[in-house]
Amino acid sequence: MGSPLCEFKSPSEAKHTRAATADAPFPRSQRLYWTAGLNGMEALLRAVLALLFPIVTLSCLIRAQAPEFMSLASARPVLQAMRGSLPPELKTAGAVDAAAWDAWVRAKDRAIRSRVAKGEELTLANLLRLGITYTGERRITFDLLSRYGGDPVVNSAVERRTGDLIRALAAPRAPEGMLQMRAFLKENGYSLNTPEAQKRTRAYLLGVLVRQRDGVAREREKAKSSTSQLFKDRGLSTDSDLYTGYALDLHLTNLARSGVLRPGSVHRVAIIGPGLDFVNKKSGYDFYPPQTIQPYAVIDSLARLGLADAASIEVCTYDISPRVNQHIERARESAARGDPYTIQVLWNRSAGGSARYLSDFMEYWRRFGEQIGKPADAIAVPEAARIDLMTRAVRIRPAVAARISAVDMNVIFQAQSRPPEKRFDLVIGTNIFLYYDDLQQALARVNLAAMIKPGGLLVSNTILSVAGPSKLEDSVRTDIPLQPGLTDYVYSYLRRP
Ligand SMILES: C[S@@+](CC[C@H](N)C(=O)[O-])C[C@H]1O[C@@H](n2cnc3c(N)ncnc32)[C@H](O)[C@@H]1O
């Protein structure tokens, strides 16, 4: 994570992106899981949940304020500490005034939010390179992608994939992930309605692929010196996978063993950038609908370690991707009606890594969700992926799923004011800070410090190298040896009083 792996999240690589749009219904398979097996007890449970629902909503969204842009007063210590490296707009002869600061923050917030669409574009590129549901063509790994343009074999595989994808995108009955990509194309002025429109869409898709090829090449060069801001010029992807859950599980175990987190001490958790799991950039798949893993993985680990009670924990997610936020809110609303949330749990047997790492990861995969749900039927793995992938599925109890709610907040420039007793014991932000530069990371630290209670922790797999004057200080680090010469890290930052 803080290692060269952060580009790819994990050696195993299973992935995805994209949240639900309002007009994209859950696919048939997921609807089936959600409605199966109602009986008297479940009906009673639904009624109880329906009563609890407004209470849960209150705890995340109403008792706390809506996020606000950070004030000049809270940013000033960072601006002073970093005055030598501030952007020109903030490097004035005199002090920056509140109006100029406010205008700057709002403009930069818009700029960051515009990177979400660029991230969606990357998911489209991943679907084109790696999707297996719509084509029998070979998958275009990053290594093959680097040869695109100069290698006729790769070029024709890409050509055929593009034709197959366009046909699948245009099909009247498409699965959820495909519908979301279609919606994204439409939002950006690309249509599939006529041969002429398809030709234009095809050129766009190939252009997206070229941009991804060039971006990956640049990042590989950059990764030779540092990975802590590796993606600062890239679109904001919503990629997520099980590996991050595994890494956090090890870190939380470390925090529990070392006494930094005490039994039963975690009541409120924030997940910054929970992401969506769908056709990830390195070797993701598109045969299951977009899903969010991290909030559930964290509750599961905390409950297993005795650090939190899954029945009463409060989890707030903060994201700027409308698709991520909509997806989580829809899951919460469904849970409030008594519907469980089903997660496909993937393990890639061909993943690299030491024998120890692989057996530990497999054990995590096997027990994932046992504290918060029960086994369900997994979506069948298509033939093309059957050699590499093992899947299981977990149906998360509605009472747990209803405890997670989503808030739109740009963690770089916004914070949510919370009364002291409602501040977080634990804030988790993985695979997010590496999209930002020093100043942005330092401002995020200030925003998050204000939301964490004294003695609480910020946990990340990105080392926040510029301390800046925030109330967060370095704490426990967990080393995750993946294979000889390759170690991943998770870091904690402790909120001082
Ligand atoms: C690469 S995904 C990581 C998902 C998950 N944390 C994981 O590690 O698997 C990054 C997530 O952070 C969100 N994000 C990026 N920048 C953000 C910001 N400034 N504020 C809030 N969320 C942000 C993205 O929309 C996305 O959901």
Given this model, what pLDDT does residue 234 score? 83
Most confident of 14-18, 29-33, 56-60, 439-443: 439-443
CA-to-CA distance for 482 and 246, rounded, in angstroms? 12
Atom of ligand 1 nearest to the CA of 414: 20
Q: Determine the Cα angle at 152 with ends 146 and 153, to 5°.
A: 80
Given this model, what pLDDT does residue 93 score? 65
Instruction: State pTM to two decimals.
Output: 0.87
Nearest residue (by CA) to ligand 1, atom 12, is 273
Q: How confident is the model at residue 480 (pLDDT cuts 50, 70, 90)?
A: very high
Query: What would the two tokens of residue 455 be?
Result: 């003695």
Alpha helices (runs of H) in 146-272, residue ranges in sequence order: 152-170, 176-187, 195-222, 242-257
Residue matched to tokens 């002073």:
80
Separate counts of helices (H) and strands (E) for the chain: 14, 12
Q: SS3 of 453, please?
A: strand
Average pLDDT of the chain, as a whole number? 87
Determine if ligand 1 sits within 6 Å of the CB of residue 238. Answer: yes
Given this model, what pLDDT does residue 38 score? 37
- Closest to 480 in 3D by CA, of 414, 430, 418, 421: 430
DSSP string, 58-113: IIIIISSPPPEEPPHHHHHHHHHHTGGG--GGG--SSPPPHHHHHHHHHHHHHHHH
Mind listing the pLDDT tens digit for each residue in 79-107? 999 988 888 888 876 778 899 999 999 99
Given this model, what pLDDT does residue 57 score? 47
Question: What mean pLDDT comes out for the span 283-307?
Answer: 96
Residues contacting 104, CB < 8 A, separation 6+: 89, 90, 96
Nearest residue (by CA) to ligand 1, atom 9, is 240
The amino acid sitting at 18 is R
Asked which of 278-292, 313-327, 478-492 is least confident by mean pLDDT, the reply is: 278-292
- Judge whether residue 30 has pLDDT over 60: no
CA-to-CA distance for 105 and 366, rounded, in angstroms? 45
CA-to-CA distance for 110 and 88, rounded, in angstroms? 18
CA-to-CA distance for 233 and 219, rounded, in angstroms? 9
Mind listing the pLDDT tens digit for each residue in 383-400? 888 888 999 999 999 999
How many CB atoms sit inside 10 A of residue 367's CB? 13
Check if the beta carbon of residue 318 is closer than 8 Å to that of residue 407.
yes
- Judge whether residue 367 has pLDDT over 70: yes
Determine if ligand 1 sits within 6 Å of the CB of residue 410. Answer: yes
- Judge whether residue 10 has pLDDT over 50: no
Given this model, what pLDDT does residue 31 score? 26
Percent of the chain whose predicted confidence (pLDDT) is above 70: 86
Residue matched to tokens 């366009």:
166
Determine if ligand 1 sits within 6 Å of the CB of residue 244. Answer: yes
Nearest residue (by CA) to ligand 1, atom 18, is 410
Residue 20 burial (CB < 10 Å; 0-12/13-18/19+)?
Answer: buried
Most confident of 35-44, 250-259, 342-351: 250-259
Q: How confident is the model at residue 224 (pLDDT cuts 50, 70, 90)?
A: confident
Domains along the chain? 4-16+31-65+229-495 (3.40.50.150), 74-222 (no CATH)
Q: How confident is the model at residue 470 (pLDDT cuts 50, 70, 90)?
A: confident
CA-to-CA distance for 94 and 228, rounded, in angstroms? 32
Residue 218 burial (CB < 10 Å; 0-12/13-18/19+)?
Answer: exposed
Check if the beta carbon of residue 331 is closer than 8 Å to that of residue 404.
yes
Distance 321 CA to ligand 1 centre (A): 8
Question: What mean pLDDT comes out for the span 130-151?
Answer: 96
Determine if ligand 1 sits within 6 Å of the CB of residue 460. Answer: no
Q: How confident is the model at residue 378 (pLDDT cuts 50, 70, 90)?
A: very high
- Judge whether residue 469 has pLDDT over 90: no
Given this model, what pLDDT does residue 286 score? 95
How many CB atoms sit inside 10 A of residue 54's CB? 11
Check if the beta carbon of residue 300 is closer than 8 Å to that of residue 365.
no
Mind listing the pLDDT tens digit for each residue in 398-425? 999 999 999 999 999 999 999 999 999 9
Asked which of 44-53, 306-315, 432-441, 462-471 is least confident by mean pLDDT, the reply is: 44-53
- Judge whether residue 8 has pLDDT over 60: no
Asked which of 30-44, 91-105, 141-155, 357-371 is least confident by mean pLDDT, the reply is: 30-44
Question: What mean pLDDT comes out for the span 477-481?
Answer: 97
- Judge whether residue 18 has pLDDT over 90: no
Mind listing the pLDDT tens digit for each residue in 61-74? 545 589 999 999 99
Given this model, what pLDDT does residue 96 score? 82
Atom of ligand 1 nearest to the CA of 277: 9
- Judge whether residue 165 has pLDDT over 70: yes
Question: What mean pLDDT comes out for the span 348-372?
Answer: 93
Question: In testing the pocket of ligand 1, which one of 320, 404, 428, 441 has its CB within 8 Å of the most ligand atoms?
Answer: 320
Atom of ligand 1 nearest to the CA of 440: 19
Given this model, what pLDDT does residue 324 score? 97
Given this model, what pLDDT does residue 360 score? 96
Nearest residue (by CA) to ligand 1, atom 7, is 240
CA-to-CA distance for 76 and 55, rounded, in angstroms? 37
